[in-house]
Structure 1
Amino acid sequence: MRYELRQEGNNFIHVETGQSAGYVTPLENGRGFSVHRDLTEINERDQIGVVKSIQEALPKLSYYYLKHLPKWVRRRDGQFGGDAGYVMCTVYSKWSFYGVFEVKQQEDGQWVATRCTEKLLRDGEEVTFPTAEVARYVVDRHKRDGIANYPALDDGYSWGN
């Protein structure tokens, strides 16, 4: 997937979503700019390189995003389980220009998916999946649904509350 980015001053915008993709800051010695990405998770480094002119920053940032497409990251997380207190569960997350996606295992072993605060629905009802792989596959197919006039796939899945 290629991302179309545009420059607005020292900032770069993802054209399809209007999300910030990165920015440049002048180097202290005045001989160039450091290029930074905005699509980062907590504690991730944002500087991706240095360029001599601001005109070189856009191709560098575009190339970076092309070579470093968002990936699913697995982690263990605690969730409140009523009388049981906090219980551990497995969560896969992916940060992209289309939102922050999570695929989370429930106590019964089934998997649910969210985009930011929206649940993945099928025919208007929250859908569960038998495996994380199937849930991530469906999320990846529907990541752009409802974003920037992108038409939703007509297979019953949608994002909602």
Structure 2
Amino acid sequence: MKFTIPTLFSLALLPQLSFALPAFKNYPAAPFTGKYKAIKIDRSNQLYKSLLTELKNEKINFSGKYVLSPIGCGGGCSNIAFYNAQNGHASYLKQSFTDCYSEKHGFQMNDYEYQANSQLLIAIGRRSEKIEQCEKVYYLMKNDRLVEIAHHPVWK
């Protein structure tokens, strides 16, 4: 098989491209500057009605138009609630994250990373029953839903 220089160059880049992790700068969000809409409470978000109602008083901190707030669910567990200031939609991530522990790597507290000008949310922790199975999970906000786009282990 014969390879040209451009082909060899392209093949050399493949491993780098396939391991590129999502970054905040790659998912920009335009800022919303209008008046906040009333929060819509319905059967799907009734569980966190009080917290969601309070989000309307906070500053936009995610994806240009959302207010996010972590929710403690007890015992080193958390979830995240969000409110769209532009249309009033309020919900929460259906997946919770728990602290991780490994004898080899130690303790990793569950956490969320996000920015006001980016559509990317990074959740850190474990989603399984295995206490040592710690991961970073990457979500994008699409149509008022957090959609998982990638994940990888925190420890190898």
Whether these two folds match at TM > 0.5 is: no
Where relative contact order (Cα < 8 A, 6+ residues apart) is larger, the structure is: 2
Higher normalized strand content (fraction of residues): 1
- Normalising to structure 2: TM-score of the pair? 0.30
TM-score (norm 1): 0.30
